[in-house]
Amino acid sequence: MADATLQHNAAAGHGLAGEFEAPLFGAYSKKVGMWLFLASDSLTFGALLFAFSYNRIYTAWPTPFGKESIINATVMTACLLSSSLTMVMGVFAARRHDRAWTRNWLLATMAFGTAFIVLHAMEWTHLIHEGLSLPGFPKPAGQLDSEYAKISTGVPQFAATFFGLTAMHMLHVTIGVIYLGVVALRKWFLPILAALWLAGVFLIPADNVFHYGVHALLIGLIVASIILFLKPKDYDAQDVEVSGLYWHFVDLVWMFIFPLVYLMSTKV
């Protein structure tokens, strides 16, 4: 009789969130899944950082970044560090079940992340205009004899590793901003994302490399729409914490990129 009662209770409770799920190392499945994803993603950035370091050691590596680039990269770093703080505050607010401040802190984190993307895009635009480019990038007139143009032709590994590493990181920050927007605003974020994509398509000049890169927002819009309409839910403290893990990972990666790519490539 007792065994039948236990089986009935187990069957009745089956499917309830977290009821009969044995935690791995004391962590719930979504958190473990994010850690596994970040572990695999770290291999990608590790390979890119290794490629940059290897070329730097075994090549006559240029040091082209002047005061303007270093100041811009420092402000970008400050934006990401500030976003980590607001993300932590958002997690704390979610644990207190304070929905309003959870949303506010997530929006602040998104604002800092967006500022980072804009500053990075301005840096890319400046470097490309000065002559640092890859095959397929627009070639500004009158920059064939500039320092950056000579670097692009003389040490093509510099442009390849610089754009490859920073583009991958910028993509991750963009994904992170979309991720937080979905958690904070849910379906209300979709028209905002659509407006940003349309603004980018029509406002970014056709000869700018980001004219095509802005379509990453369209892909994010499609994926977010599928998630929000097929599986709508009210994101809780666990979801906010998991999104925070991703965001802190993106910030941590930049703490390797900033000194390696910028500070160690400053003009002497």
Q: Please report where in the chains the tokens 């991750």 appear, as a residue.
A: 172
Residue 224's CB is within 10 A of a number of other CB atoms, namely: 19
Distance between CA atoms of residues 258 and 195, nearest Å: 31
Rg (C-alpha) for the chain, rounded Å, is 22
Domains within the chain, CATH numbers bracketed: 24-265 (1.20.120.80)
Minimal CA–CA distance to 117: which of 166, 57, 65, 183? 166
Q: Among 10-14, 32-36, 61-65, 247-251, name the one with the lowest average pLDDT.
A: 10-14
**Rounded to two decimals, what is the model's pTM?**
0.87
What gap in Å lies between CA 238 and CA 263, rounded to an integer? 37
pLDDT in tens, 57-109: 988 889 899 899 999 999 999 999 999 999 999 999 999 999 999 999 999 99
- Dump pLDDT digits (tens) for 178-225: 999 999 999 999 999 999 999 999 998 888 888 888 999 999 999 999
